[in-house]
């Protein structure tokens, strides 16, 4: 038996976390499978993309096949306050939230580490495609070998003190190798489809979800305006729009129009041409760094403003109270407030923050 101690593997019921658990078992590790019940869909609504009761049962069957214990934990309260409320508040503030990043931090790591003591575990593993690494003698996260599946972007907000005790068994696997391992072991989830939806939003209908929340996030109609403030049309609630959006504006114009900004105080959606979507800098808040920020000076850095966007060369300026500015070598398209920005040195993720505004 390994001397690294008992490890909890977060299991969503999908093929990735199932294969990750299998890899740990093959390493003769002392593994406990844990599924978090995080959300209960309203009566009559279809449950979302992961962590439903069906998914929990899939995870339990995989654990039975692997010969490891499985537990389902009720994390709904934590998820509601730290992820769902954040999601609604960000839309209400005219931003486009990224709840998956917060879920990774608040649930898949912080919550599981807190619960781990009950299982005698001090380590956590997940089915993310990412790698644990070291840089300048600090633990960091690195991009997975399979760049097409790399999920390091979603992990920028991981608590730095947790990194020494986090493992990514799929670091050196691609998706087909992951499925092949599941097939080899006869796991029923080997061909299970991936969900691209946010798990707590039924049918991916954000507007209906926001309308149904207690506390009044109901949309209110307002103007769609150009950069000069001239009304061009009407919207049925600004939360249904995001920076860079072209479809669904309902405006006839000589040239295509795109959403440039959202002004909650005026209840307006601002539109303009594609050229107006480009900007060369952004201001971010809520910084989380895996190495001391003063040691970032002099490093060649790049940043990703979306999970699938290419990393672009940047200059970093650290500000006060967790803020920083990134200046891009080349203008970037549709920098979106509310989204995460992840900062890299080569393939090493060094941290990041939340986009507050483009400059």
346: left (phi over 0), alpha (psi -120 to 50) or beta: left
Q: Are 191 and 108 members of one domain?
A: yes
Q: Are 197 and 262 members of one domain?
A: no
Which of 50, 51, 63, 103 is catalytic? The answer is: 103
Q: Are 181 and 230 members of one domain?
A: no
Q: Are 81 and 190 members of one domain?
A: yes
Q: CA–CA separation, 263 vs 93, rounded Å?
A: 8
Which pTM value belongs to this model? 0.91
Look at residue 208 and tell me if it is in a domain: no
Q: Render pLDDT for 93-111 as a digit per residue (tens, 0 to 9).
A: 899 988 888 888 888 888 8
The burial class, CB within 10 Å (0-12 / 13-18 / 19+), for 7 is: buried
Q: Is 100 annotated in the active site?
A: no
- In this structure, what are the phi and psi dihedrals at residue 280, rounded to the nearest 5 degrees? -105, 0
What CATH number has the domain bearing residue 239?
Answer: 2.30.30.280
Sheet holding 7-10, edge to edge: 70-74, 31-37, 7-10, 123-125, 166-167
Q: Are 196 and 59 members of one domain?
A: yes
For residue 3, is pLDDT > 60? Answer: no
Q: Render pLDDT for 275-287 as a digit per residue (tens, 0 to 9).
A: 999 999 999 999 9
Domain that holds residue 250: 219-272
* Total number of domains constituting the chain: 3
Which of 50, 51, 63, 199 is catalytic? The answer is: 199
At which of 272, 291, 314 does a domain end?
A: 272
325: β partners = 283, 317
Q: Render pLDDT for 106-156 as a digit per residue (tens, 0 to 9).
A: 888 888 998 888 899 999 999 999 999 999 999 999 999 998 899 999 999
Q: Is 50 annotated in the active site?
A: no
Q: Are 232 and 289 members of one domain?
A: no
Look at residue 106 and tell me if it is in a domain: yes
Q: What's the pLDDT score for residue 201? A: 76
Q: Are 62 and 25 members of one domain?
A: yes
Q: Are 188 and 237 members of one domain?
A: no
Look at residue 16 and tell me if it is in a domain: yes
For residue 19, is pLDDT > 70? Answer: yes
- In this structure, what are the phi and psi dihedrals at residue 146, rounded to the nearest 5 degrees? -85, 100
Look at residue 1 and tell me if it is in a domain: no
Q: What average pLDDT is seen over the chain?
A: 89
111: left (phi over 0), alpha (psi -120 to 50) or beta: alpha
Q: What is the pLDDT confidence band of residue 196, given thresholds at 50, 70 and 90?
A: low
């Amino acid at each position: 038996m390994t001397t690294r101690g008992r490890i909890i593997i977060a299991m969503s019921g999908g093929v990735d976390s199932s294969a990750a658990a299998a890899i740990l078992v093959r390493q003769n590790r002392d593994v406990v499978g844990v599924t978090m019940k995080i959300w209960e869909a309203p009566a009559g609504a279809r449950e979302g993309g992961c962590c439903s009761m069906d998914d929990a049962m899939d995870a339990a069957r995989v654990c039975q096949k692997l010969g490891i214990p499985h537990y389902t934990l009720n994390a709904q309260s934590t998820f509601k306050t730290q992820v769902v409320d954040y999601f609604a508040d960000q839309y209400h503030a005219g931003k486009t939230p990224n709840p998956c990043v917060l879920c990774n931090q608040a649930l898949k790591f912080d919550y599981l580490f807190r619960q781990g003591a009950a299982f005698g575990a001090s380590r956590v593993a997940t089915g993310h495609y990412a790698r644990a690494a070291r840089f300048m003698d600090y633990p960091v996260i690195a991009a997975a070998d399979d760049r097409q599946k790399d999920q390091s972007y979603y992990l920028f907000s991981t608590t730095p003190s947790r990194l020494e005790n986090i493992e990514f068994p799929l670091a050196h696997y691609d998706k087909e190798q992951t499925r092949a391992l599941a097939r080899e072991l006869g796991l029923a989830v080997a061909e299970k489809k991936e969900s691209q939806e946010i798990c707590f939003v039924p049918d991916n209908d954000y507007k209906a979800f926001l309308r149904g929340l207690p506390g009044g996030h109901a949309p209110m109609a307002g103007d769609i305006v150009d950069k000069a403030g001239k009304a061009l049309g009407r919207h049925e609630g600004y939360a249904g729009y995001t920076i860079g959006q072209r479809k669904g504006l309902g405006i006839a114009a000589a040239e295509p129009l795109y959403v440039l900004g959202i002004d909650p105080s005026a209840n307006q959606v601002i539109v303009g041409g594609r050229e107006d979507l480009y900007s060369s800098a952004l201001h971010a808040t809520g910084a989380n760094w895996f190495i001391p920020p003063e040691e970032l000076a002099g490093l060649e850095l790049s940043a990703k403003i979306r999970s699938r966007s290419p990393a672009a060369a940047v200059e970093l300026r650290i500000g006060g109270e967790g803020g920083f500015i990134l200046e891009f070598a080349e203008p970037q398209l549709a920098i979106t407030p509310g989204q995460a920005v992840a900062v890299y040195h080569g393939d090493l993720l060094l941290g990041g923050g939340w986009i507050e505004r483009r400059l």
